[in-house]
Structure 1
Amino acid sequence: MDYETASTKTNNIRKFYKSIFIFAIFAVLIIPDDIFGEKIISFRWFDRYTILGIWGFIILIKAVKLFLFDSEWERNMIEKELEKEKKPIKY
């Protein structure tokens, strides 16, 4: 892995953790309002819980992309495909 790739990956990981931190702050500020009040948590279209759920799902997709399908995985897949092309075709 060269320096540029490592730097990019490190920067993406830093951004990911920053987004989780911001999400956690908003969740801590939004959720206790209903839990400690007299309201019961209810899910409606475009209320705060729906927004938190969508935001959490987006963070989950980013995590999968960042940690499971990173550039090293992509490089390995490319190398496998190139190796398939080098092998002679058997008839």
Structure 2
Amino acid sequence: MTDPADLRFFQALKQVCDRTEAIDQPLRQTLARAVQTGDPQDLRAARQAVDRLDPALHSDLLRQVHLHMATDLSAIWDALPGAPGKQRPN
């Protein structure tokens, strides 16, 4: 079973890459497949494809993903120990 945090990471990575012109179509397809299936082999292929990017682009993408994940209140709420199921305040 794939960790929900891993899936959130790849969903955020896909969103960032979808907004980035420097990302080619094969990488976009690899990320889409990884997010869609959640299969560990697809996730590994996506990570390896991202790791092959130019170091400056790679660093910028991961910075944006980190910002997205650090400000995703639903993910933070879900990770809190003792947080009620799907019931969120407000």
TM-score, structure 1 as length reference: 0.29
**Larger radius of gyration, structure 1 or 2?**
1
Structure with the bigger percentage of helix: 1
TM-score, structure 2 as length reference: 0.29
